[in-house]
């Protein structure tokens, strides 16, 4: 099975969230805006994961004549973004649907 593109995954996630909101009667713009916030966090999470894959857990930094290695900041930010995503889902009162894979290979 070919890997699903990031854009297709995002569309699928958005539709699943909107479907659950509609089912629970949450159709006001406020709820839709929260879904968009969730998707913005999702995009950031995906970019952080790519950064970690590309640069590893340690990065080389050049500051003037100094060259040193330090921890990749993406390692610190990724759990923070994940927590914010979870917070948005709690506000939306979104629960996983039984039988549907979450699509998160993290």
- Round to whole Å and give the CA distance between 63 and 105: 35
81 has a pLDDT exceeding 80: yes
- Position 77 scores a pLDDT of 97
- Round to whole Å and give the CA distance between 34 and 90: 11
Evaluate the CA torsion angle 79, 81, 84, 90 in order and state its sign.
negative
DSSP annotation of 67 reads E
- Position 4 scores a pLDDT of 85
- 104 pLDDT band, cuts 50/70/90, is low
């Amino acid at each position: 099975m070919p890997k699903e593109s990031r854009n297709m995954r995002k569309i699928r996630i958005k539709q699943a969230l909107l479907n659950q909101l509609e089912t629970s009667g949450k159709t006001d713009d406020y709820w839709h805006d929260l879904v968009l916030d969730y998707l913005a966090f999702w995009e950031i999470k995906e970019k952080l994961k790519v950064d970690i894959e590309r640069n590893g857990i340690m990065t080389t930094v050049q500051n003037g004549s100094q060259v040193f290695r330090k921890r990749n900041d993406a390692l610190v930010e990724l759990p923070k973004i994940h927590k914010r995503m979870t917070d948005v889902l709690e506000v939306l009162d979104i629960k996983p649907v039984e039988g549907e894979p979450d699509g998160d290979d993290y």
